[in-house]
C-alpha cells in the first residue's frame, strides 16, 4: 500500500506519475462508504490496470474508490455521506486486497497531481495517523523550480508532508503555491 505522492521508480514507470491517493489494506468484501454527499459520476466494471472502481461527484470535486469487487452506487440516485457504495477488492494491478482512495478538487493548484490532493488531512478529526519523526531543525534555501511538495520529499521522503514546512514558515509563506528563490525556510 502507498501513501499520497509516493513515487518509487517502478511505480512511475507503470503509471507515469506519483501515487494519486491513499491505499488502505482491507479484506475483500469490506463495505465502502461515501466520504460525502454526492452522485455517481462513473462506475468502472472493467478489471483493467486500475481495476474496477467508483467515482462520486461532490460540490467540491470527486472522490475515487478503486480496486473494488462490486459497485452498489446507482446513476441518478443522490448518495449521502456514509451510504454504502460498493465493496473492497483486489481488481486490476493490486498487490493485495485494498482500497485506493483519492480525491480531486474542482480548482487544482501546482501542489496537486493532476488535481488529486492528499486525502489524509481531511481525515484528521476521524483518524489518528502517526507522523514520521521530526528531523533535527534545519533550513533550506529555496532554489528556482522548488515547490513545498519537492522540498518535503527531499527532507521527509514524502511530498505530502509539505504542510509541515508551510506551517513552520507562515511568517514567510502566505500562499503555499508561491515560494521564491533565496527564501530561507525552516524545516521542522
Q: Looking at the annotation, which residues are catalytic? A: 98
What is the number of other CB atoms lying within 10 angstroms of the CB of residue 168?
A: 16
Q: What is the DSSP string of the chain?
A: ---TT---HHHHHHHSS---SEEEE--TT-EEE-SSSBEEEEEE---STT-SEEEEEETTEEEEEESEEEE---TT--B-TT-EEEEEB--SS-SSSEEEEEEEESS--TTSBTTEE-SGGGGTTT---PPPPPPSPEEEE--TT--HHHHHHHHHS-GGGHHHHHHHTTTT-SSTT---TT-EEEE-
Amino acid at each position: 500500500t502507498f501513501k499520497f505522492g509516493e513515487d518509487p521508480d517502478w511505480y512511475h514507470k507503470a503509471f507515469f506519475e506519483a501515487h494519486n491517493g491513499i491505499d488502505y489494506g482491507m479484506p475483500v468484501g469490506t463495505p465502502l462508504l461515501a466520504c460525502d454527499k454526492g452522485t455517481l459520476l462513473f462506475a468502472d466494471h472493467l478489471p483493467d490496470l486500475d481495476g474496477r472502481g467508483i467515482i462520486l461527484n461532490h460540490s467540491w470535486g470527486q472522490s475515487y474508490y478503486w480496486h473494488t469487487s462490486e459497485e452498489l452506487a446507482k446513476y441518478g440516485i443522490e448518495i449521502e455521506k456514509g451510504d454504502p457504495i460498493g465493496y473492497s477488492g483486489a481488481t486490476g494491478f493490486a498487490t493485495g486486497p485494498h482500497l485506493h482512495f483519492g480525491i480531486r478538487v474542482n480548482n487544482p493548484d501546482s501542489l496537486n497531481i493532476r488535481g488529486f490532493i492528499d486525502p489524509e488531512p481531511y481525515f484528521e478529526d476521524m483518524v489518528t495517523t502517526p507522523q514520521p519523526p521530526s528531523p533535527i531543525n534545519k533550513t533550506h534555501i529555496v532554489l528556482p523550480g522548488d515547490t513545498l511538495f519537492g522540498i518535503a520529499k527531499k527532507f521527509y521522503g514524502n511530498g505530502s508532508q509539505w504542510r509541515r514546512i508551510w506551517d513552520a514558515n507562515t511568517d514567510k509563506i502566505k500562499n503555499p503555491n508561491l515560494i521564491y528563490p533565496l527564501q530561507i525556510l525552516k524545516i521542522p
